[in-house]
Each structure stands twice: as C-alpha cells, then as structure tokens.
Chain A
C-alpha cells in the first residue's frame, strides 16, 4: 500500500535518530500523507522498514488520536474535549454533532463520510471551543457554525 518512495524515505529515517523508536512518528506522518489511515498491514510494513517490532509501532500509534485507523470516514471530525473547550461548551457540541450525524463518538456514518471523535487538547485554547476536521482547524465554534461546516463538507463530499 505504501509507494516505493515512501518506503525508501521511511527506511532512511532509521539512521536519523539515536533511538530507533523515535522514527515511528515521522514515519507515521508519511503514512498519513500518502494513505490517509493505518491498518495492521501498514504497521507491520513500517515496523519492518524501521527494524522495530510490530508491537512497538502499534503501541506508539495508539497513543495518538491523530492517526486514523482504516475505516475512518472521509472527514475525521475531532472535537477537543479538554479543559478550555469543555468550559466553553464542547460537551454540548459533541452531543449536537452526534444528533446531527446520527452517530456516537467513535463511530462513522453509514455512507463513510464522517467519523466523530472526542480528543484531548489540540493546542488552540484561545479559540475554544474548537475541532479539527482532517488537517483543518475550525475555531470559536457554536451550533450555527457547525451546521455550516457540515453542510459545506456534505456539498464537497
């Protein structure tokens, strides 16, 4: 699933860090860029390329909500539910999204367009509440803004 160029780049990472495990994150960023998600086979491949065990790679990747697993929707909505966002109503926004998309947190819509996640701090407390859809931040959210964002995304499909 990984292109030959990506494979080459990942194996080059092996020598760039004193601790080989450090190469897992940059390697996974490459995976994200190229494939958009990970699965068992990709983790195995990355482990092989870096000379690490599959377990080491799987453990590290699971630590971050940032890396989506295979089966994730076209748009991965990650709503921050950490302190600042929570104080400014993130909880209500999550349940509003659940209602609107007719899915629960952690689920994907049947058409495979949206996946909803509640995540920890995304470092944008000044513009709370906020969420991230794929690589883009949407800030200072309210219900109306969410309606607009979802509608736009649906139009784009």
Chain B
C-alpha cells in the first residue's frame, strides 16, 4: 500500500495505482480525453497534467503511478494554466461548429473548455480542413453503415481506433499520416464492418464520429434518457433509451461492468426501428369472413373469452393451449401461465417453439444443468480456456463474444468447434469444423483421448475407477471409433484439442443454439460435464458448462413456469403435466386442442417445420395471437391483440446468466395497444377472475412469493443501481 497526498488530502491506495485513479477515489476530478479505463493507457492528450512535488515538469495523471509520500496538486496555478494551454491547442483547428454538431450538449471538449478553457482565442490563422469532396463544404464521410466521420472536429485521442483494435479485436479503422494532418480512416473502399462499430460514436469525445441514424434529428437536451434493458438477445445489456414524446431517437449504453462493460452491439444500439414502425399493430383485429378487421377492445375481449368458455365447456380445459415467449417480461409470462392454470385450468403451456428437441425440466427447484449458465458473464474473461461449441458467438451473443476476445487478449486459449467457421475462429488457437450432428461422436473422441492417454485428473475428478471404466468402454467402443471418422476431424486435431484442454487451469464451455436444439442435446451436455469432471474442474469458479439462451428473457420464461410440467420456480406439477409445443401440434391435428393463445412467439418463423405448423395451426377454431407486429403466425390468426413494445412497459428480464434486470417505461403504448400483462388481466377479469394488479411491481411481488428462486428480490433495488437481482 502507498500513502500519498492529493490537493492536501491523504489517501492510501494499492501499489501500481495511477494518480488519476487515486484522485477519483478522493472525488477529485482530473479532466481527460484519451483515457478510457477499458483501453491501454497512452497518455497522448496531455489534458490530465498534474503537479507532483519534486518533479520539475507536470506529469500525466493517467499514466503516472503513485509512490510513497507523493504530493500531488491538481489545482495549482501551473496545472490550471496547462489545462488552458492544452485546450487552446485543441481549439486551434477545431471548427467550433457546435450549433450544427450532434455532439453538442454532451461533448467532452465543449464541457472541458467550459470548465477549464480560456474565453479568448489568440489564433487568427485559418483552420485545418480535411476536404472529402471539394464541391461540398461539410467534409462528412460515411466510413461504415452506421458511422459518419467529420475529421475537422477530431482531437486525435485515438480512442475509436484503440477500441476497435483492443476490445473488438478488429482492424478496420486506423490512424493515417501524422502531426496536424493525422487522420482517422478506413482503408480505401473497405467500410468499417464489425458488429461493434456503433461504440465509437459513444467513445468519441467530440463530434468527429457520429451515428448516421441519430444525426441532425434532434438536440440531445431535448430528449429524455430512460434507463432500461436491451431486448435483442439474452445478454441483457443495460441501455438508455433517448426519447422525445413517443419516439426513440437513439439508444446508448448504460454501463454495467457485470454485464456489458459499457459496450453495445450495433443491433442493440441501432435496431430499435420496430418500436416506431409504421406497421405496428394499433388496434385489436378479428377475422370476419376471411378478412381481418379492426374491432374495439371490449368487443374483442368478449369474443375471445366467450369462445374460450364455449370450448372449455364443450370439450374441457385441455382443449386450450397457451404459448408464451422468451421475448416478453417475467411479469407478462407469469400472468400468462397463471391465466392458463387458474382461469382456463390447463397445463398446456410452453414457449419453446424453435426446437423439436426439448431439454428435461429440473427435478429440484433450482435450475439444472440443462437450464442455464453455470458461470457469470464476468467469469468468462477470467477463464484460462474457453471452448465455444455449436455457437456463432458473435451473432448469437455479441457481448459475451467481447468477453471471449478479452480473455484472448489476457492470454487465454480459445477453442472453437462448429459445423461452419465463425468469425470467432480468427482468435481461436484451435478451430475445429465437425460435420453437422456429429457433436457426440466428436466429444466421445475427445473423452476417449483423455482417458486412453491417462491425461485425466484422477483425484479431482471424483470418478471412481469403475465409473472411469464405464466411460472408457462407452467412448472406446468400435461403434464410437467408427463414428469418429464421420465427424471429419482427424486424430491429430483431437490430440492437439485435448492437449490444450488438459493443460488449462480453468475451462469455460459455451454452448449455443446449435447445441440447445440438437437432437442429442442431453447427451452432448452430459459429455461436456464428463469433460469438465475428467479435467478436474467441476468445482472451480472459472469453469463450467454454460447454455446460452436465445431471447432477452428466455431464462426468465423458464423460471416463470412457461412449461407444461413445472410451475414458476420449477415447482413440480402435482397431477399430469400438460403438453409441450410439439405435443400441442399433434393434439391440434387429432382435434383435441381447439384454441391456442400465442403471446409474443412466432412459431411459423421459428419452428423447424414451417409448413407443418402452418397447416396445423390453420385447423384451430380459435388462434389468438398477441404481438406488436403482424408476424407470419399473426397472418393466419382469427384474433390479433396489439401488445406493447419493450419501450412501452415496465417489467423485468432475466438475462442469460440469471440476472434479473428492470425495464422502465419510456412512453405509453402506441395508439390502442396495451402491455401484454394488462391484456391478460382484461381476459381473466372478463372470465370472472380477480387479476387485480395495479402495476408490474405487484405482479413481481407475487412472483417472488410463489417462485423459490426469485424469493427475496426487491423491485426497488432491481436494475437501476449497481446492485441487481441475481439468482443462483
């Protein structure tokens, strides 16, 4: 530990701490431009100069490490002057076109000049210009699908280039030329093309890199920022919606180091068009004489409930079925299953419409190995070896992908095994391509190599010798040897793969959609558990097998009991379980199910056999679809109810690692649409049930009482602060 004094205040910090970090602890602000705590420090901008006693020249606070007895001043006349000087230099060539600059109002240069700069300029010469097109005076250049560059405003902090290199692991943005001619650019005709490009617009301290979709639309101070959670994938990045009236103007990151570390993918940042889309459903629609036509809510509710009651009366509760969705909130899903279980009286509830191969539900009231992640997102970057299996990580989980790249940067080994090559393969020490559906044969080959070469950890694995022998017999049978040939992976590759695995100090395995929906999913997951055990990692923190769900609330939907055989919190159903989605389809074909209520899912687009689903669902007497857009499934529905988008409701999402995070409402539901939960309440009330909830908070409270894994969670402390709900 080191003791030092900053501006007369004493502080004790760890060795190796920089002056900047120590000052931060004391609440003393030191202005910076090029510093970013996730990037390598370069000390280039000189904005953070401070005075250190006994050192004749000012020092950069971002890169100067503290030493015992150091006396630092951040407020001396010399420092004040230096800041003024640095800012004066930066303004020499800065165009000061703040009135038309999108960064205006949240520009670091603007703010620091306001706070520390001089009110006069001594510079009378012309300003430097980077002329892009001699005929245009704007010098704007599109350097990618989302990014506009205006070099005139650039202060050369290079945070954009460093982000692209260090965090995204790409090289499609670079620094050209030198001195006052330094230029941030792409290679000629090779636009910046990576799914993280939007981050540079947020990292840029000035208006040099701005977002194509946001520019010139509105001044930032006219918008209001609503903290919420990204709905695009299961990673659950924390975001801010910037809105005015009922329109989203942009989405930015709301840094949460446990989840996103302050970065978003371009899909999350720019993919919000659907909220303000002209095709949004605005009114309930009922099919009359083969045509969908608008109907008032009361008439539609009446029509739906009387149809449901008629069917229930004639052929019983089990002739109805409900399909929830991993895209809607926990509260909506909880109410949905409650509606079916207590109002309709059936367990025909599911949401797994994208696969025919369902994983077995947990036997105890915790998530089992088939139902979630064992590790946290943060642990991924700490693992010494990461195996990505059956997953295009960059596409499926872009933010988890960044953690893998981070681990690589820290020296971890990355192994990738997929049926086709993915972009992550560039970082892989070993990238194997197996033939589709040969995962088990490939894994048996890996286990066999470990056992036969006696490279397993006998003590730590906890396997008895007879268990090892059983496993050996299984993976060394002539059948599995023959099967190994079909995987397309040679013995040498298996050897080097195993070599990396047995050497690693910790192993995290990430499985994607390809594994979850695999016909042999259970067998694959069990093999992976054997692998973790054989290598002696089963009880370690930074090791484990992780299934990565697809949708923003896939985990929550499982947790909330949108399953035919489990109540919320995986409480086992006492009687006969209901039908899963595959069986529901069979039952429809047998005439046993007559009505289906689909909330937020689109089986026609998601189910592996589209024609089968289409013809099957077409046989229903009542197909009620509740969604925000006319989905493929909605097109064949009898009744469509307009739901609210994620921006229009409150609620919670449980992300891929089981973290419960709160969504906040940015504005009211569009036109006559309603939040999913509210619609369910209307239906239940029309059928004579109480369903009185004022807000999603009431529903969440009930959920925490009913579901053992959510018990003890407090709505008020979810999501908004650093302290967020996390269920183990």
Contacts and interface: CB of A to CB of B under 8 A. Distances in A.
Interface of A: 40, 53-56, 58-59, 62-63, 120
Contact of B187 (A54, A63, A120): A54
B489 to A, nearest CB: 26
Contact of A55 (B171, B177, B178, B179): B171
Contacts of A40: 187-188
B131 to A, nearest CB: 11
Contacts of B176: 58-59, 62-63
Interface string B163-187: 0000000011111111100000001
Residue of B172, B173, B174, B177 ringed by the most chain A CB atoms within 10 A = B174
A55 B188 contact: no
24 contacts: A40-B187, A40-B188, A53-B171, A54-B171, A54-B187, A55-B171, A55-B172, A55-B173, A55-B174, A55-B187, A56-B171, A56-B174, A58-B174, A58-B176, A58-B187, A59-B174, A59-B175, A59-B176, A62-B176, A62-B177, A63-B176, A63-B177, A63-B178, A120-B179
List of 9 A-B pairs having minimum Cβ-Cβ separation, nearest first: A62-B176, A55-B171, A53-B171, A55-B174, A59-B174, A63-B178, A62-B177, A59-B175, A58-B187
Nearest to A63: B178
Contacts of A58: 174, 176, 187
Nearest to B173: A55
A63 B174 CA distance: 12
A54 B176 CA distance: 13
B494 to A, nearest CB: 27
**Chain A interface secondary structure, helix, strand, loop or mixed?**
helix
Residue of A55, A56, A62, A120 ringed by the most chain B CB atoms within 10 A = A55
A20 to B, nearest CB: 14
A55 B193 CA distance: 14
Given A54-B171, A55-B171, A55-B173, 12 more contacts: A53-B171, A55-B187, A56-B171, A56-B174, A58-B174, A58-B176, A58-B187, A59-B175, A59-B176, A62-B176, A63-B177, A63-B178
A24 to B, nearest CB: 13
Nearest to B165: A55
Nearest to A54: B187
A69 to B, nearest CB: 11
A56 B164 CA distance: 13
A33 to B, nearest CB: 23
A60 to B, nearest CB: 10
A28 to B, nearest CB: 15
B158 to A, nearest CB: 11
A40 B187 CA distance: 9
Contacts of B179: 120
A80 to B, nearest CB: 14
A58 B161 CA distance: 14
A96 B215 CA distance: 44
A54 B171 CA distance: 9
A59 B178 CA distance: 10
A53 B174 CA distance: 11
A106 to B, nearest CB: 11
Interface string B137-178: 000000000000000000000000000000000011111111
Interface in B293-332: none
A120 B173 CA distance: 26
B123 to A, nearest CB: 19
Contacts of A59: 174-176
Contacts of B175: 59
A121 B172 CA distance: 31
A40 B186 CA distance: 13
A40 B176 CA distance: 14
A40 B189 CA distance: 11
A59 B187 CA distance: 9
A46 B177 CA distance: 19
Contacts of A120: 179
A59 B172 CA distance: 11
A101 to B, nearest CB: 21
Contacts of A55: 171-174, 187
A53 B190 CA distance: 13
A151 B173 CA distance: 44
Nearest to A40: B188
Nearest to B183: A62
Contacts of A56: 171, 174
A50 to B, nearest CB: 14
Residue of B175, B177, B187 ringed by the most chain A CB atoms within 10 A = B187
Nearest to A61: B176
Residue of B172, B173, B176, B188 ringed by the most chain A CB atoms within 10 A = B176
A120 to B, nearest CB: 7
B680 to A, nearest CB: 53
A53 B179 CA distance: 23
Nearest to A62: B176
A20 B171 CA distance: 16
Nearest to B177: A62
Contacts of B172: 55
Contacts of B171: 53-56
A8 to B, nearest CB: 26
B712 to A, nearest CB: 51
Interface in B648-666: none
A73 to B, nearest CB: 21
A55 B174 CA distance: 6
Contacts of B187: 40, 54-55, 58
B48 to A, nearest CB: 26
A67 to B, nearest CB: 12
A46 to B, nearest CB: 14
A39 B623 CA distance: 63
Contacts of B173: 55
B174 to A, nearest CB: 4
Contacts of B188: 40
B244 to A, nearest CB: 39
Contacts of B177: 62-63
A70 to B, nearest CB: 12
A30 B544 CA distance: 51
A16 B244 CA distance: 59
A59 B171 CA distance: 11
B161 to A, nearest CB: 9
B149 to A, nearest CB: 16
A120 B180 CA distance: 12
A140 to B, nearest CB: 26
B518 to A, nearest CB: 36
B202 to A, nearest CB: 22
Nearest to A58: B187
Contacts of B178: 63
A74 B675 CA distance: 72
Contacts of A53: 171
A99 to B, nearest CB: 22
Nearest to B176: A62
Contacts of A62: 176-177
B113 to A, nearest CB: 29
A125 B452 CA distance: 73
A100 to B, nearest CB: 24
Contacts of B174: 55-56, 58-59
Nearest to B179: A120
A56 B170 CA distance: 11
A157 B188 CA distance: 32
B183 to A, nearest CB: 8
Nearest to B186: A55
